[in-house]
Amino acid sequence: MNKKTSLIGLTGTNGAGKGEAASFFVEKGYAYFSLSDVIREELRKENQEITRNNLIRMGNIMRQQFSPDILARCVAKKIKEKAVIDSIRNPKEVEFFQNQDNFTLLAIDSPTELRFERVKTRGRKESVSSLEEFIAKEAEEMGTDEKSQQLLACMEMADHTIINDSTIEELRNKLEEFL
């Protein structure tokens, strides 16, 4: 990573370790922002449960009603210092941040079965109970509609990719190398 980089964007598959990566960067002095937090705020305003299904649905509604980069625009207003920006899921969000100074996009990925095992243990409302449902839900996030999630396209736009297929310590070592 360029020493001048002050914004690190995180994209990647569900359960790959983006949250662990974000925690690592916070420990290194980066402020934390999540595009999903913008969606969570909207769900709370509408008294809707914060589930994966509702996050995906509401994020797509916001992109359709306003613009595909609306979540990035909302978060960017809050950034005052070097920051890690989690939950980038649309190419227009990537493009918005690429137009900011010193932005680097980092993709985190892991094998599907390993990610499914991780999400089963983390205590969130994932809206899936089997590996097959997990794969189907992920396919929704890999779409091509400009105003919806396009996770695969975002990962392809990444400046760097880390495969997190081992321990948290190994992930942290890879993140240290990235820095």
Domains in the chain: ranges and CATH: 7-178 (3.40.50.300)
Distance, in Å, from the CA atom of 48 to the CA atom of 43, rounded to the nearest integer, reads 5
Please tell me which residue, 143 or 35, carries the higher pLDDT value.
35
User: Using DSSP, how many helices (H) and how many strands (E) does the chain show?
Assistant: 9, 5
What is the value of pTM for the model shown? Answer: 0.89
Long-range pairs, 172-175, Cβ under 8 A, ≥24: 172/20, 172/24, 175/21, 175/24, 175/25
Count of CB atoms situated within 10 Å of the CB of 13: 21
Distance, in Å, from the CA atom of 70 to the CA atom of 125, rounded to the nearest integer, reads 25
**pLDDT, tens digit, 9 for 90 and up, residues 135-168:** 988 888 888 888 888 899 999 999 999 999 999 9
**pLDDT, tens digit, 9 for 90 and up, residues 95-142:** 999 998 899 999 999 999 999 999 888 766 556 788 998 898 888 888
State the pLDDT at residue 121. Answer: 84
**pLDDT, tens digit, 9 for 90 and up, residues 6-25:** 999 999 998 999 999 999 99
